[in-house]
Structure 1
């Protein structure tokens, strides 16, 4: 009789655990992966943003740190201008819709980049021109599926698989993105067309900035070069403020107006 009672309690406990896990699975499955990614982009950029950022490029033989200011508006407009060190100050990159332009003050020339170069290294770092622009291709050119969840620090983190839509003009064969339930981008893994991992971007620190919790330190790690990395740190940020239209112009790249 005693063994029967113990067994009954064990069965009751297992049933309760099963119900709890089943409920969690349903909740995770109900989370819209596209909405989670949109929340991450909204947190990252807002309707508009103005940020001051440092970028440290680390190589086994050397390391350098650059400072830049960046402005974004919607999903289409981005301007990034370097302010330090002196030899890089004035270099700028401008994204207008699907067009990307670079400016070199030594040459005093604005050059439009072809689409084939947007995935190339930006300023010698492990980030690309598309990364700089925080391009929303991830939202528009891929289909999304939640493939896993985990708990960390009281939050649920969703792992989302992004597969290119048929005929999509994208470089990556697949992306896996980890997004926290409050819209913080935690990690992004990039796969080539053969489904090999090429690089991984991780959020190293989250802190309040510009009135929101924000991934203030991000590091990009190439998979085949473990000894090198690029770290981006957001020093200051404001969001959802009016940005003058002249900011996102080629003439402003060459002759900055009050910035």
Structure 2
């Protein structure tokens, strides 16, 4: 009888523990938007799990000038990355705290084989009406601080003195659906006013970006050619 009672007790405890496991709330998450702006890094694989990872089996890399959003378990997590060409070798690794439900951006900068990272915790301003919120970040390793103008007003800086790895604040622009024509031609210039690159922000960009937050990512190298040619990428931040 005592033996039977012990078995029943063990079964009850097992059921109780299983019930507790099923009722546990999922771990809180944060989000990480990874942007590949490293010169001569065609694509990168990113591990946001904080655990060991076989990059060779991961088939969803981030191309140059592109971005991808990942979920990250809140708490202290190590983020790692590897080139798609050499998945066995870590390109970068860092550890930081991620707050529950917070949003972060990770910009990969520098020039291969030296990858630099910029991590920002995001705060988005609130706007009323139909607007497009735009900001810029300078990921050109050999640049001096840059200015961004509009082609229509080349002598007026929309964004001023943006140093390497620096991100501007958001600036709002009115969004209308009047005609399917070009909206804004954002032009990147050096301190002397020389044109380096541009992004033609057109009608469909405006439609997609209405009431959203947009980051213009400046990449490449001053004087660069081919993959290192100065360029500007359009990324929706949310």
Structure 1 length-normalised TM: 0.29
Structure showing greater relative contact order (alpha-carbon pairs closer than 8 Å, 6 or more residues apart):
1
Larger helix share, 1 or 2: 1
